């Protein structure tokens, strides 16, 4: 499946396809970089991201349609080489989200430390929200944020997400659940 990139002012959100992830996780960094069209940061993926990327690869291998929802590389445009500065996407198609809402998608994002504080996470999330609304007609979006992650808490609040609960994540521990859209639950 070929998933077109999503373009924003400074970013191109490029699908981390099964081919890219297979090369990356198989230690073929040059191949992964060429397929992605971006320079990979040294030391990436770390152990945490490698586990996350393996799970997304397994999702896509089970169901190729998941690729359009899964992880995208955040590629900074306008320079050469174009650096990969993070990743973002949805946890899966509608229904794959912490609260289990059938019509909702859950957004996730990471900007690597050297690129933080420049509004790039906001730009990436806004691009994903615009895509899911215009291309898929989905208006209910979930975001789960660790209580101590002040930059992400500020981001979701700034974009109009409202806290609707909490959940326990096996990997990340306690998370605050935020929802955006017409069908969000009543805040606690």
What string of pLDDT tens digits covers the 188 residues of the chain?
Answer: 689 999 999 999 999 999 999 999 999 999 999 999 999 999 999 999 999 999 999 999 999 999 999 999 999 998 888 999 999 999 999 999 999 999 999 999 999 999 999 999 999 999 999 999 999 999 999 999 999 999 999 999 999 999 999 999 887 899 999 999 865 444 44
pTM, rounded to two decimals = 0.93
Q: Where are the domains of the chain?
A: 6-180
Identify the CATH class of 6-180: alpha beta
Provide the pLDDT for residue 182. 61
In DSSP terms, which residues pair with 25 in a beta bridge?
A: none
Provide the pLDDT for residue 1. 63
Q: Specify the residue for token string 């730009």.
A: 123
Range 1-38 burial, b when 16+ CB lie within 10 A, else e: eebeebebebbbbbbbbbebbebbeeeeeeebbebbeb
| Strand boundaries in 91-136, DSSP class E | 105-111
Provide the pLDDT for residue 51. 94
Q: Are 68 and 56 in contact (CB under 8 A)?
A: no
CA 66 – CA 70 distance, rounded (Å): 6
Q: Are 48 and 2 in contact (CB under 8 A)?
A: no
């Amino acid at each position: 499946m070929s998933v077109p990139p999503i373009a924003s002012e400074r970013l191109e959100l490029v699908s981390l396809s099964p081919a890219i992830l297979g090369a990356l996780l198989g230690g073929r960094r040059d191949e992964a970089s060429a397929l992605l069209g971006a320079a990979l940061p040294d030391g990436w993926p770390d152990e945490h991201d490698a586990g996350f990327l393996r799970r997304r690869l397994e999702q896509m291998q089970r169901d190729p349609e998941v690729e359009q929802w899964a992880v995208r590389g955040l590629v900074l445009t306008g320079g050469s080489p174009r650096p990969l500065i993070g990743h973002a996407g949805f946890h899966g198609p509608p229904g794959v989200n912490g609260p289990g809402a059938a019509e909702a998608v859950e957004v996730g994002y990471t900007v690597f430390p050297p690129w933080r504080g420049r509004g790039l996470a906001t730009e990436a999330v806004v691009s994903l929200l615009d895509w899911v609304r215009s291309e898929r007609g989905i208006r209910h979006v979930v975001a789960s944020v660790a209580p101590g992650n002040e930059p992400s808490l500020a981001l979701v609040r700034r974009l109009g997400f409202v806290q609707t609960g909490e959940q326990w994540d096996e990997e990340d521990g306690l998370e605050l659940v935020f929802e955006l859209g017409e069908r969000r639950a009543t805040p606690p």
